[in-house]
Amino acid sequence: MKIIVFSDNHGNIDIIKKIMNHHPEINTYLHCGDYCHHVEIPELIRVVGNCDTTFGDEIKIIQLCNRRILLTHGHLFPRFNIEKALIAYAKKMKCDIVCFGHIHVKVNKLVDDILLVNPSSLSYNYDNSEPAYVILDLITKSVVFHSIGGLK
């Protein structure tokens, strides 16, 4: 099973709809926060981030395809040790995948058999890389980054 993970679109709803339309074969989407608008998209599983104007869950644990996924924006964890803190929390919660945003850079790391995924941002990245989203294969725990450049 493949899912799409994105984060930090900061109000650009059109890019989310373009990504969804570009991948009609995928019907599960995780949003790691900083959505910034309260728009209901039924297929979208999301958490709120530090820039969101609506209330909701800041952390969710989702069971998909025999995987426990920790979904969070990341602002509740220490910024300069965020990966270490997320791994510790994932272990505590018995999760094997962590999807997070907030830091606006790509992350794809396997640490202690826990996959850390940050798709970067759909708006801008702090390292000047192209904004992107991720297609995550839950069976193989493989991650493929996709630039949004061709979707604008």
Integer Cα distance of 71 and 125 in angstroms: 20
43 within 8 A of 28, measured Cβ to Cβ: yes
Give the DSSP per-residue string, 15-61: HHHHHHHH-TT---EEE-S---S----TTEEE---TT-SS---SEEE
The domains of the chain are located at 2-151
Please check whether residue 58 is in contact with residue 52, taking contact to mean a CB–CB distance below 8 angstroms: no
Topology (CATH level 3) of domain 2-151: Purple Acid Phosphatase; chain A, domain 2 (3.60.21)
139 Cβ partners below 8 Å, 6+ apart?
1, 65
pLDDT per residue as tens digits for the range 74-96: 999 998 899 999 999 999 999 99
Digitized pLDDT (tens) for each residue of the chain, 152 residues in all? 999 999 999 989 899 999 999 999 999 999 999 987 777 788 899 999 999 888 889 999 999 999 999 999 999 999 889 999 999 999 999 999 999 999 999 999 999 999 999 999 999 999 999 999 999 999 999 999 999 987 86
